[in-house]
A and B are shown apart, each in its own frame.
Chain A
């Protein structure tokens, strides 16, 4: 663990003053020291896994208490149960409304909204997208997913926007809220589920609340940013004209911030769509259920098609809200055309509802599950030797040795190594937080499993970052390549993480390498995109200067572009690692074990509940640790970060 991240993100410091030791001496000395200590103390002060840790029993007891008092404790009957009922009602309401529209009505409404937001292009996208969901044969499940997403987004905005406005106006609030949001966004989706089940039982209500919490951070962040960006001059003008604080907010700040806030809505929807499929594990209806069923049957086609349906929903929602976020000019006439078109399209759809069949017509549906499976079967039988070889090479060559080292090294050595490494790369605060997180993991009694998870994350992110870097560099160099890559990456990014498990399972069987491959597909798009953007942001004049100084392409890349894009590269590494963590954990559903397994077992077997809950917390700590280490000199992260993990 000590050497891998060093390669991933070499610390590039300002040129050292002359006559000091060469730059590489300190890191090399550090590595040598860690290796020496490891050899000396190997196998001592290790923390083997114990299923019977006292903490787990305490948590089980807490669960039992909640279970026994759900219908008598005032906290539950006056607060928690009402929240549950409210969320359930909201979901039911939205679902009934969407269902009542019928499929032509909903398609019409979507097209109408598209028209309203961005004219005929967006209307067409909406129409095609929603119709496409029907053609894939997943209309009903998609409507349920949509209903769940919308109720969660609605709640996220209801709480997120006021919080964001507050944070935008008060630096003090901002200081409190920001770290909380950081943790919320690093938290692997899996960790949200067990506590939700404890409080709100299973079902759509619980799923709505989990998704709401997961989707809220972007709403808060971007609203806060939008409010901060409102020009002070305008606000002053308004105040000097005698407007009260509330008037200034309603008439000046919010309208001026509106377009940016719409972007927040856009990001909130993306986050919610990423979370919703996973909530099928706690009995939420929708496409997630189809994914789980496909997983149980190891049916790749059946897992990819609902995945594509979610991508279509995501594209429509993304384009519509993005278009709505753009400033549109035009006078009354333009507005009349917009609203008129909206009304016509929606009315046309709704008018068709009673005429058309209630369910999406079967003859319009296209069966693509079988062809996909045929391809997979072919690959499985013909590439078996190759995939098996790849699996074994990575498992025996990388995973097992690394895991052996991490689980046999004394806990204090690993903690110290992380402390020093994070300190050097990202400063003292990051070092202390990272080391603190590791100590927390040890205190939870999940050290060994955390090290196993860490092994997968390190190997996974190493592969991911390497591939993402290569793809990003290639895309930054060739417009043509970028044009081909972009839509693929877009789609890959919006696919629910779930869908990636199955192709990986089909190819590599069950185990850690499968989880790693799934996380690879999941995280590469983001890494590649950040790398590409970073490289493209290098000013043309600098490139010209370097070229005219006689740099070759290779020199240009290594000496100019990559160093100058350091911020983006660090962010890419950061995102790659955090996303790999989120996905590797879900890999527990296909036998990757470790912390992810503890979480899965936690909500599937009652005696493991405490362990599962603790594992969820350990995952958060691991996430924060990895994030702090790699956050690095990049400083404050952008509000757009991590839209899909």
Chain B
């Protein structure tokens, strides 16, 4: 299995380290390393290739059209709107709690309590989407219906609130990590200048950790945007932009939910499939842009 017995196999020295030569193990590992690259490539390539017929037959109206009716029209705007709106609602609802919580846990809690709260948060980040969906349809949607006097609780607001609950632990733990990575001497210096503890936090720690916090928020956005099952169960499933557009009590449709409901109908077949893959491509580009921005911030956050 290993070519280590052969001294010739040793590669050149760099940075004081030896690299093994190109034995069979090298190529096996190289092949494995390319799996992720290949999977990402296949995914993007497939989505582009399969959505081309839809883009060609529908033209720009594919992105801007408001009407989606299988066999006639494929306009993606209601789904794009639904995805963006649900994600924005999720952020608006989750951010105050996630960031407030992160600051409190990072700056004011003793180490032991911190560890406990963080472990709980990480556990909750792992609760399956389908369980959140079950919670959403049993508790959240009926509650929204009663609280706001709607005729039905399945709405953009229900989807947004559910997504907010889902991403809260992720955003909170990652923001907390960012705050903890600010060196202690910054705080000590500020404290010695006579600032109160909260002043230190908001004038020193938070600004220093801002790129990391932004990264955490972007990762949360990506997760919210891609969630399928939980959203599918509470968003209402109507491919329509409400009027007025900010009426979050109306039902809507997000891209993943649309895919989850309709994909089985035309798996790999016809213009309908091409249009669905077009939606998939839009979703992929949106999440990639978000992930890219997030990683940019996270990398800046690391010294």
Say if A and B assemble together.
Answer: no
